[in-house]
Amino acid sequence: MNLEELKELISRNNIKTVDLKYPDLVCNWYHISFPSRRLDFVLEHGIPFDGSSIPGMRSVEAGDMILMPDLNSAIIDPFLASPTLRMLCSVCDADTRVGVRKDSRSVAHRAQEYMKNTGVADESYWIPEFEFYLFNEAEIHNGKFSAGYKFTSAENKEDLPFGYKDIDGTAVANRKGYHIDIPFDKYAHVRDEMVRLIENIGCPIRYHHHEVGLSGQQEIETELLEFSFITDRMMYIKDIIHNCALKNDLTATFMPKPIYDEAGNGMHFHIQLRKNGKNVFYKKGNYADLSEDALCFIGGILKHGRSLTAFTNPSTNSYKRLLPGFEAPVKLFFGLANRSAAIRIPKYATSAEAKRIEFRTGDGTCNYYLAMSALLMAGLDGIDKKIKPDPKNGYGPYDDNVFNWSEERQNKLHSIPSSLEEALEALQQDHEYLLQGDVFNRDMIESWIQEKTKEVVAVRNRPHPFEMNLYYSL
C-alpha cells in the first residue's frame, strides 16, 4: 500500500485515529495512538518513546527510540467502535532511524536480506498453524498463601462451567475432539467469525477445525504466504483470536499445555524457499522429491534443533507439551508423513509448487519474528555447510513411529531439551549460525537468555500445587 492509497482508505472510512503497535523482545504487544491528521509527520519523523521502559529492549542511560510505521501493515481495526487504522512499527534508533538490534521485527527483515544475499533463494514462504483452546472460564490466582487455576468448557462433560447444566446433552465425554462436528463443535461459529476477520485483513485461510482437545481446542491454518507478509499478519491473527473470543464471552489461550494429560497447543511451521519463482526444495526422484538444498536445510534445523527451541518453544510450559504420546515431537529427525518427527514432509504436497517441509516442534508462546528468523538461519547454515541428514548421524529419514522402537534404539536419536533452562543453555553454546549476516547479535541473544531466565526462576521458586499432594503430610 502506498501513501496515496492509505490516505484514500482513511478518508473513505472517516478514520480519525491511527494506532501503532509493536512487540517487546518476548512478544508482548504495546501501542500508542495519534490523530490521523498527523499521519504525514509521523511517517517522516516517527514517534519517540522510552525504550528503557520496554522489557529487554534498552538500558535507562540510552533509552530514546523511535517507532517507524510500515505502510504495508496498515489495516482497519476490526474491534474498536470508532474507525481506527492500525499499523505495525519497527523500533529504531532515535538518531539513525535504523531498526535496533533487539527489535524482533527488524531481525526478521535482516534474516530475509541475508537469505537473498546467500543466493540460495530470494523468497521464503510459510504456513503457520494456530492451535489454541477456547475456554468458557479461566480463573487464575497466584499469591503467597494460595495459588491455582480453573478452566472450564461447555463442550466437555467432565469440565463444565459453574452453573452450566448441559440440558441439551451436547457436551461430550470419552472421545477425542479432532474434527468433531456441530452441534458438539459448539464454537464453530466463533472460528468462522475469526476467519472472516482474518481474511478481511488480506490473509487467506486454508482451513479451520476443532482440534484433538475436547475442552474447546481449535486450529486455524493459513495458505502458503511470503515471510514478511505472514509474520506481520500472524501478530494480527493472534490479536483477532483473543479479541473475538472475548467478544463471544470466551477466553483464548495459546499456552502449549494448559490442561494436564490433554492435547497441547503447538505451532507448526511449513517452510518453502523460492528463487526466481521456482521452488528450491523440489527435485523429482530424490527422497520425498526433496532437492539437495532442501535436505541440507532440514539438516541445519536438526543440527541446531536444541538451541532453536529457545526461540521456538520459549516458555517453561512449552516442555510440558513436548512429551511422547501426544503427537508432540521430542526427537530431532525427519520423515515423510511422520508425525513423530520434528520435521515432517507432508505426503499430500507432491507437486513442484506445493513441496515443502513442516517443522512441528514449535508453539504459540514464541515471538514469531524471532522463531521464524532463527529457523531460516539454521536452515541456511545447513545449506552453507552441506549438513545433509542421514541415518548415520541420527537425523533420518525415518518413516515409522520411533516411539514403537526399543528404548535402546530411541536413545540413539538426538533429543530436544527437556526444559526451558536446558534450551537456554543450548542457545548459549550454539548461536554462531544466528550471527551470520549480522541478523542476530550476541547482545540481543544475551538479553533473550536473561529475560527468559527470569521466567525459569519465577516458576522454579514457587511451590507447585502438586507438591502439596506429595509432601504436605510427610
Question: Do residues 27 and 314 make contact, with C-beta atoms less than 8 angstroms apart?
Answer: no
pLDDT for 310? 98
List 219, 232, 363, 421, catalytic entry = 219
Mean of per-residue pLDDT scores for the chain: 94
Task: Provide the CA 88 distance to its chain's centre, in angstroms.
Answer: 17
pLDDT for 327? 67
Does 131 participate in catalysis according to the annotation? yes
pLDDT for 326? 65
**pLDDT beyond 90 at 410:** no
Question: Do residues 105 and 369 make contact, with C-beta atoms less than 8 angstroms apart?
Answer: yes
List pLDDT tens digits, range 372-388: 999 999 999 999 999 99
Radius of gyration of the chain (CA): 23
Take residue 265 and report the three cell numbers written for it: 497447543
Q: Which domains does the chain have, with CATH numbers?
A: 3-100 (3.10.20.70), 104-122+276-474 (3.30.590.10), 127-265 (3.30.590.10)
Helix (H) or strand (E) holding 39, with range, is helix 39-45
Low-confidence winner among 51-55, 328-332, 357-361, 435-439 (lowest mean pLDDT): 51-55
Question: Do residues 358 and 93 make contact, with C-beta atoms less than 8 angstroms apart?
Answer: no
List 105, 191, 268, 306, catalytic entry = 268
List pLDDT tens digits, range 319-330: 999 987 666 789
**pLDDT beyond 70 at 349:** yes
**Residue range 129-144: mean pLDDT, rounded:** 97
List 159, 262, 358, 363, catalytic entry = 358
Does 358 participate in catalysis according to the annotation? yes
Positive or negative CA dihedral for 270, 218, 203, 45?
negative
Positive or negative CA dihedral for 53, 57, 58, 64?
negative
pLDDT for 63? 67
The pLDDT-based confidence of 113 (bands split at 50, 70, 90) is very high
Q: What is the residue whose three cell numbers read 508462546?
A: 365
**Residue range 284-313: mean pLDDT, rounded:** 97
Does 219 participate in catalysis according to the annotation? yes
Question: Do residues 445 and 434 make contact, with C-beta atoms less than 8 angstroms apart?
Answer: yes
Q: How far is CA 345 from CA 313, 389, 408, 437, 444, in A?
A: 21, 14, 26, 29, 32
Burial 219-252 (b: 16+ CB within 10 A, else e): bbbbebbebbebbbbbbbbbbbbbbbbeeeebbb
What pTM does this model have?
Answer: 0.95
List 24, 77, 131, 381, catalytic entry = 131
List 8, 40, 50, 223, catalytic entry = 50
Angle at 339 between CA 335 and CA 342, to 5 degrees: 65
What 8-state DSSP symbol labels residue 174? S
**pLDDT beyond 50 at 61:** no
Does 137 participate in catalysis according to the annotation? no
Does 268 participate in catalysis according to the annotation? yes
Low-confidence winner among 198-212, 215-229, 330-344, 459-473 (lowest mean pLDDT): 330-344
**pLDDT beyond 50 at 60:** no
List 38, 339, 442, 464, catalytic entry = 339
3 state DSSP class of 465: helix
Take residue 222 and report the three cell numbers written for it: 493459513
List 129, 159, 262, 363, catalytic entry = 129
List 159, 185, 211, 421, catalytic entry = 211
Does 199 participate in catalysis according to the annotation? no
List 344, 356, 360, 431, catalytic entry = 360
pLDDT for 246? 98
Does 4 participate in catalysis according to the annotation? no
Low-confidence winner among 81-90, 97-106, 319-328 (lowest mean pLDDT): 319-328
What 8-state DSSP symbol labels residue 244? H
- Name 411's Cβ contacts closer than 8 Å, sequence gap at least 6: none
Q: What is the 3-state secondary structure (H, E, C) of 289-302?
A: HECHHHHHHHHHHH
Task: Provide the CA 56 distance to its chain's centre, in angstroms.
Answer: 19
* Cα dihedral 134/137/138/140 (nearest 10): 180
Question: Do residues 364 and 319 make contact, with C-beta atoms less than 8 angstroms apart?
Answer: no
pLDDT for 203? 97
Q: Which amino acid is at 191?
A: R
